[in-house]
């Protein structure tokens, strides 16, 4: 659903740019609360994984394909604020390096694909886990529904933006019907990918999944015929070395999976236009589309310039994309985590000073 330059007029694109910048600023502050020394490395990996899976277009209807948006997956795994940052990093890398999604439309894409999908998905997810029975199955089921609904929500958001600032005169009802119709189908694929990924991580390390925090089933005993919650026992400190080894194994496995998906499996992705491209062509939305300003990039269109073998060219581009995204994402989240530590140290220092003065 990457919006190219020329679909949305300059004033609307500028406003969405301001909205995106504000959301990123808020998300940077929110991510300090969501990330800790265990989950910060996972956030960079999530961004790289989303980049890789977005290369895997899957067929959804005659002549149409879809791909993961990733907002639901990121929000559930690492938190909604961190999720906005993850998808934004992916969109920035795609726009600058691979000429995918217009640079003047970057605000539109972040608003639509990062903010809307993350907010809608996480709201639906939290609502469902409150009413479903506690357990891994509930987390997986809630992930499925949240991801499914986030995609047509993004389609409606694009329709609204097009109604406000579209560059062609097309009946908005037709645009809405076409966009929602095809993106409901794409949402099913998004839901399957999200549920499988979240379920796999929850099965191995549920403590690293932001959406699974506090959802463990409470231990109960029957006393005088009534179920009573057992008071939490004092937990022994976890052995740090095995925990670090487990996190390292998960991180390495995720990175290898991302590299394989982008470097090899992506060659077999559907070549059909995605939902937005198909609707744009059918409805005439693309009549004023502009050539991407990075069309001459050495990695434009997910291929390496001057490499004639299509399989090798696409595979190398995918591997480079995963590498650049994981480095960029990890740098952002390391900086956020470091700032959280600095803030905590400042608060501790202030508290100590107040205590000393009172004495």
Q: What is the mean pLDDT of residues 48-75?
A: 96
Measured CA to CA, the distance from residue 114 to residue 69 in angstroms comes to 8
| pLDDT 10s digits, 269-327 | 999 999 999 999 999 999 999 999 889 999 999 999 999 999 999 999 999 999 999 99
pLDDT at residue 354 greater than cutoff 50: no
Intra-chain end-to-end CA distance of the chain, in Å = 61
Share of the chain above pLDDT 70, in %: 86
Comparing CA positions, the residue from 69, 117, 99, 102 lying closest to residue 321 is: 99
pLDDT at residue 17 greater than cutoff 90: yes
160 class by beta-carbon count within 10 Å (0-12 exposed, 13-18 middle, 19+ buried): middle
What is the maximal distance between C-alpha atoms in the chain? 78
| pLDDT 10s digits, 115-149 | 999 999 999 999 999 999 988 899 999 999 999 99
pLDDT at residue 185 greater than cutoff 90: yes
| pLDDT 10s digits, 228-263 | 554 544 443 444 566 667 788 889 999 999 999 999
Distances 260 to 195, 241, 304 between C-alpha atoms, Å = 20, 28, 17
CATH 1.10.3720.10 is right for the domain spanning 10-228+243-349: no
What is the per-residue pLDDT for 276? 95
* Phi, psi (degrees; rounded to nearest 5) at 99: 55, 40
What average pLDDT is seen over the chain?
89
Q: What is the mean pLDDT of residues 189-217?
A: 89
pTM greater than 0.85 (yes/no): yes
What is the per-residue pLDDT for 347? 46
Task: Domain ranges for the chain, please list them.
Answer: 10-228+243-349
What is the per-residue pLDDT for 345? 52
**Which two structure tokens, joined as six digits, stand for 183?**
């993106």
Q: How is 242-309 classified by DSSP, letter by letter?
A: HHHHHHHHHHHHHHHHHHHHHHTGGGGS--S-BHHHHHHHHHTGGGG----TTTTSTTGGGS-TT---
For residue 211, the tally of other CB atoms under 10 A from its CB is 25
Measured CA to CA, the distance from residue 222 to residue 218 in angstroms comes to 13
What is the per-residue pLDDT for 167? 94
Share of the chain above pLDDT 90, in %: 76
For residue 140, the tally of other CB atoms under 10 A from its CB is 18
| pLDDT 10s digits, 30-46 | 999 999 888 888 999 99
Comparing CA positions, the residue from 82, 71, 84, 92 lying closest to residue 155 is: 71
What is the per-residue pLDDT for 213? 83
Q: What is the mean pLDDT of residues 321-347?
A: 81
What is the per-residue pLDDT for 242? 63
pLDDT at residue 7 greater than cutoff 80: yes
pLDDT at residue 346 greater than cutoff 90: no
């Amino acid at each position: 659903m990457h919006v190219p330059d020329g679909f949305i007029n300059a004033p609307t694109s500028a406003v969405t740019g301001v909205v995106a910048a504000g959301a990123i600023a808020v998300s940077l502050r929110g991510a300090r609360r969501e990330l800790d020394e265990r989950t910060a490395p996972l956030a960079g990996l999530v961004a790289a994984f989303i980049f890789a899976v977005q290369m895997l277009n899957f067929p959804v209807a005659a002549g149409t394909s879809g791909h993961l948006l990733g907002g639901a997956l990121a929000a559930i795994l690492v938190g909604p604020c961190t999720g906005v940052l993850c998808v934004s990093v992916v969109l920035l890398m795609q726009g600058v390096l691979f000429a995918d999604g217009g640079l003047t439309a970057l605000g539109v894409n972040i608003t639509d694909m990062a903010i809307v999908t993350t907010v809608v998905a996480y709201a639906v997810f939290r609502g469902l886990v409150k009413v479903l029975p506690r357990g891994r199955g509930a987390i997986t089921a809630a992930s499925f529904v949240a991801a499914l609904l986030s995609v047509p929500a993004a389609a409606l958001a694009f329709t609204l933006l097009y109604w406000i600032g579209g560059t062609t005169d097309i009946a908005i009802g037709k645009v809405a019907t076409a966009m929602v119709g095809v993106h409901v189908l794409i949402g099913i694929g998004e839901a399957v990918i999200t549920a499988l990924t979240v379920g796999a991580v929850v099965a191995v390390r549920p403590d690293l999944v932001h959406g699974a925090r506090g959802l463990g089933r409470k231990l109960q005993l029957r006393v005088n015929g009534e179920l009573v919650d057992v008071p939490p026992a004092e937990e022994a400190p976890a052995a740090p070395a095995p925990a670090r080894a487990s996190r390292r194994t998960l991180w390495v496995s995720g990175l290898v999976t991302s590299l394989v998906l982008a470097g090899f499996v992506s060659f077999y992705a559907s070549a059909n236009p995605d939902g937005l491209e198909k609707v744009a062509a059918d409805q005439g939305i693309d009549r004023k589309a502009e050539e991407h300003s990075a069309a001459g990039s050495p990695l434009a269109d997910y291929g390496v310039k001057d490499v004639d073998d299509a399989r090798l060219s696409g595979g190398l581009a995918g591997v480079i994309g995963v590498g650049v995204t994981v480095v960029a994402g990890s740098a952002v989240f390391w900086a956020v985590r470091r700032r959280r530590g600095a803030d905590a140290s400042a608060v501790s220092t202030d508290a100590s000073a107040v205590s000393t003065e009172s004495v």
